[in-house]
Structure 1
Amino acid sequence: MNQRTASHPFPHPGGCGVKIACVLVTHLRAKVEMRRQPHLKGRPVVIIDRSLGRPLVIDHFPAASNVSAGMTLEQALSRQTDGDVLEADEGAYRREFQRMLLSLQRVSDRVEGAEMGTAYVRLDGLESMYSGEARLVTTLLNATPQYLAPRVGVGNAKFPAYVAARTSHTLGSVRVPPEAAHFLAPHSVDLLPLPPAVKEEMRCFGLHTLGDVAVMKPEALINRFGPEGQRAWELAQGIDGFPWFPSSTRSPSWNTLPCPLPRRLWNSCWRRWTPCCDGPTPNPECGAGTPGEWRWSVPSTESRPGRKTSTSGGLWETGNGPPASSGVNWKVTIPGLR
């Protein structure tokens, strides 16, 4: 762990020992593109999104140092005259982020995917399994693909952990000390998860750092900025009561019957199906689950009757079976099995 971090746990403001890690990958889109197109790695590339009509910059390569996200394409090229333009491939970026979340779920079952490249992981209760917090954090770093150059921040709430991750070095970690407000004070209000217009108005009123916000009376901030003012004050104090939204991404469960199914039974078992993403999958061999209902995903590499799909990477289609969908388990009723 970084030398600036504390080595002992601290209580959650509500009284319970919650401990959260923020696993942060900055410029995820750019890192994915540099891996896909290594010949562009040293070029001043800007990645643009046209989904809202007017092309906007959503990321850039390190060489495009004069560009920032949110600029229009015209603004970016006026500042980076030798810049190359790449169209965003949001599908590829989301898939890489989902793979990252799946890897983190192998370390903790409490993982939340936030904005692209930002994940929160609950650590409380896991230290003993990994022989301490330091090894647990190292495991999180190792679980994330190294080309993404992750960094980790650990705190008692999501926002302090996020700020800690922003201050960490690549492949390093920072622990928020017990005095979270003191730790947050020198950082810019730009880190607040608030609308850009609210943060710009804060700067107009002389509120440039989280410390500036923390010393204000909450009533004054609420009168001027409404609910966003109250949230800004709480976050600047290190209090983040925002609800926890665990990711629904799960690793596929590969369950098989104790003996190969005859083709006629295999075909008929697909005739009644419903999507099933509600947790661990029972194994028919041990008789778990509802009688006659068995859940599994079929790896595309297995020799099963049916037509292999070219895009799913994980399911087969037979007759009126479920559509191909990677990473989704299906609940299937098999006639005659009880």
Structure 2
Amino acid sequence: MSLEQRWLRAAYGASPWLMPLYPLGGLYRYLMRRREARYRRGKKFVWHAPVPVIVVGNITLGGTGKSPLVAWLARWLVNQGWSPGIVTRGYGGKSDAYPLLVTPETAPSQSGDEPLMLAQQTGLPVVADPQRARGAQALVEMGCDILLSDDGLQHLALGRDIELVVVDGARGLGNGRCLPAGPLREAPSRLGRVDAVIVNGELSKPLPVASIAMQLMPQRWRCLRDGQHRELTPLPFRLPVHAIAGIGHPERFFNTLHSLGVEGEMHPLEDHQQFHPAALEFGDRRPVVMTAKDAVKCKDIAPPDSWVLEVEAVLPSSFEHWLAAKLSALIERGCTHG
């Protein structure tokens, strides 16, 4: 287990060895409040798009399920008649020129894993740019009439009309403390100032605000080699397997596999893990099972018997009605900031 994984486990488990860092958590919280105030008072520039902007983010480190929600929102918006675009930082990628338009054929070394995954899953314009406001402007110039900012809650240089925060139901807010004493990017009170808090999975600890339930439901298996899809049952591969997960919360993926009857060796990896062929050589011929996020980096190096579990977010109809009403209100008051 890496140092980062050990720290995350301690932060979410309220381990006592983090107690000496508590004063630093208070300092971090103060600095975040001061930074937010500078944007709010106009001391730092905020670019407001001439179209609605929906930010999907979290206030914790580690995976919460933001990308599946972004993909769900993208599909839902298309069904409502919108032409959405997705802007993201492109963590783990490095391009010679930004903004980078990510297509299903873009190299993950340029775009990062999550932008490429979203481009493949949605077929919509996805732009990666460390300066999200610049990336958002590029999407507007492409003709997008609504923008989704993936993991953009703390990137205040891009104005927003709707803020959605995703919380991992199993881990919640951890020990409730800010970095480096805990997993929080912002104080828990931030949840009271966003438009909706969405909980991925069953909530194990109460939150200080009301929330909306989201489930990540397995949909199908995809053979990584030929792209063909198979039903969830019967399993299209033999057991046992090697399961890999380079995501923020690998245990969630492994628990899903167990619920489908998949058994074998589970290999938790670093979030945004960079792969090389040796990392997928386990010395036997067991099938390899992975997440869609890992698959975009493993397609050309994975063993022939490799499988991807595709999942999709499921949200209640009440959330759809709320979001439709929210967007209608924006249109009625002329959501054109430019």
State the TM-score, normalizing by the size of structure 2. 0.25
Q: Between Structure 1 and Structure 2, which shows a larger proportion of strand residues?
A: 2
What TM-score do the two structures reach when normalised by structure 1? 0.25
